[in-house]
């Protein structure tokens, strides 16, 4: 299946000069969604994953489906201030400044193998911060799975030392 045909370019979003990869058409097509998720989870089927962590917000959608398919739980990684209980946070660099993400302090058990899922990897900053969160809690990053990789932004380099899988690359 040609998943790229289900991903549209939205120019100048969220700001001028950015071409946003919109997966909405893929998400609303049941067959394409099923195929994409199967491709995302395939390398992890025999990796003894303990929990899937999805990065806000489209990582919630894809990660929850993958967690269900793997027969494990799901934990959200969210933008600062969005989780209701005690959290740990990690900062990452943006083009201009920094941002941070959080996870519940009790979301991952010591030694638990965690698959981190998001829809897209660009520069790798958010994904790297997600790995820091898992490791702060004593978990082990079993790998990353992304639907889309913007390879020209070299995010994979920020994740050296971790297994990283992507389905569609630009």
Catalytic residue among 8, 41, 68, 95: 95
The rounded distance, in Å, linking the Cα atoms of 48 and 119 is 22
Catalytic residue among 58, 78, 113, 156: 58
CB atoms within 10 A of CB 55: 28
Does the annotation count 95 as an active-site position? yes
Residues 6+ positions from 4 with CB-CB distance below 8 Å: 168
Chain centroid, CA 148 distance in Å: 10
Secondary structure, 3-state, 35-68: HHHHHHHHHHCCCCCCEEEEECCHHHHHHHHHHH
Does the annotation count 113 as an active-site position? no
Q: Which residues are catalytic?
A: 58, 95
């Amino acid at each position: 299946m040609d998943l790229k045909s289900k991903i549209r370019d939205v120019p100048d979003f969220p700001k001028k000069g950015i071409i946003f990869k919109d997966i909405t058409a893929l998400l609303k097509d049941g067959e394409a969604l099923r195929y994409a998720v199967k491709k995302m989870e395939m390398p992890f089927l025999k990796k003894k994953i303990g929990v899937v962590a999805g990065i806000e917000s489209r990582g919630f959608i894809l990660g929850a489906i993958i967690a269900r398919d793997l027969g494990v739980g799901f934990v959200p990684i969210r933008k600062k201030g969005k989780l209701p209980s005690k959290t740990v946070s990690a900062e990452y660099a943006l083009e201009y400044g920094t941002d941070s993400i959080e996870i519940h302090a009790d979301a991952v058990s010591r030694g638990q193998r965690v698959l981190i899922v998001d829809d897209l990897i660009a520069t790798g900053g958010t994904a790297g911060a997600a790995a820091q969160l898992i490791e702060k809690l004593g978990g082990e990053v079993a790998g990353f799975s992304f639907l889309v990789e913007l390879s020209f932004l070299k995010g994979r380099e920020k994740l050296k030392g971790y297994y990283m899988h992507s389905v569609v690359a630009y």
